[in-house]
Amino acid sequence: MTKEEQLKERWKQVEARIGAACLRSGRRPEDIHLIAVTKYVSAKMTELVLDQGLEHIGENRWQDAKEKWNQLHHRGIWHFIGHLQSNKAKDVVGKFDYIHSLDRFSLAEAIGKKAEQEGLRVKCFLQVNVSGEESKYGLEPDKLFDFAKQVRTIPNIEVVGLMTMAPFSEDAEEARPVFRGLRELRDELNRQAVFDTEIRHLSMGMSNDFEIAIEEGATWLRLGSILVGKDEGGESTWES
């Protein structure tokens, strides 16, 4: 199989699993958006991803994304999904259409400032550390509401939803309470009308747990290894 065929096959399998998870949980496949996380692969491979018709590209470090973005930014919609230092916000704002990792006011200010200079409104997800794992970035759930009210004061940021990462586990079921927790936080923000308009989106679910994420309400999946694969020594490997 060529890389194109392998990619097509992987995408087909992912779509089938998304479809099945939607059926189980009474959700509509068109409400589930797919981000192809290209952080493990080259610009060449990222181009193939776009050629296949996947239009949302996710990267977690600007240094790694730079070459790909420079070559391909006129195509696709770019998502910054990794931890972002405040002094790096200027590298990302104006390049990426979405930022999934807003978790501190200093970062919100840095994003807001650059966005104002560029005359933009940046779509952001507030990242929440639902699991409480020390190694994870994101806000503690009980700080989310005050933070959301602070972010609301920054006119150049549009909060579109919440994002979380579940702890890695062999058993995807362990992610369920984390994903459910994020959904409940979103619903509570809306109940309290913290933002002028309802926030809809939940960015959650990766290669090992995306079906559980769908069952718990994910609207954006971030899939790397299972969809795009990984480059190793210049060759892509496709076995999971």
Ligand X SMILES: *Cc1c(COP(=O)(O)O)cnc(C)c1O
Contacts of 156 (CB under 8 A, 6+ apart): 111, 112, 115, 116, 120, 121, 122
Which stretch in 105-113, 135-143, 191-199, 204-212 sits in contact with ligand X by CB under 6 A?
204-212
Determine if 206 is a binding residue for ligand X (CB under 6 A): yes
Residues numbered 51 to 80 that lie near ligand X (CB under 6 A) are: 60
Out of 7, 54, 81, 204, the only residue in the binding site for ligand X (CB under 6 A) is: 81
Minimal distance in Å, beta carbon 205 to ligand X? Answer: 8
The closest residue (CB) to ligand X is: 224
Stretch that binds ligand X, among 43-51, 118-126, 169-177, 203-211 (CB under 6 A): 203-211
Task: Please give the Cα distance from 219 to 148 (Å, whole number).
Answer: 20
Q: Is 176 exposed, middle or buried (0-12, 13-18, 19+ CB in 10 A)?
A: middle
Report the distance separating Cα 165 and Cα 175, nearest Å. Answer: 9
Cβ(88)–Cβ(62) under 8 Å? yes
- Smallest separation, CB 226 to ligand X (Å): 6
Q: Which is nearer to ligand X, 66 or 152 (CB)?
A: 66
d(CA 236, CA 210): 22
Chain residues in the site for ligand X (CB under 6 A)? 37, 39, 60, 81-82, 165, 206-208, 222-226
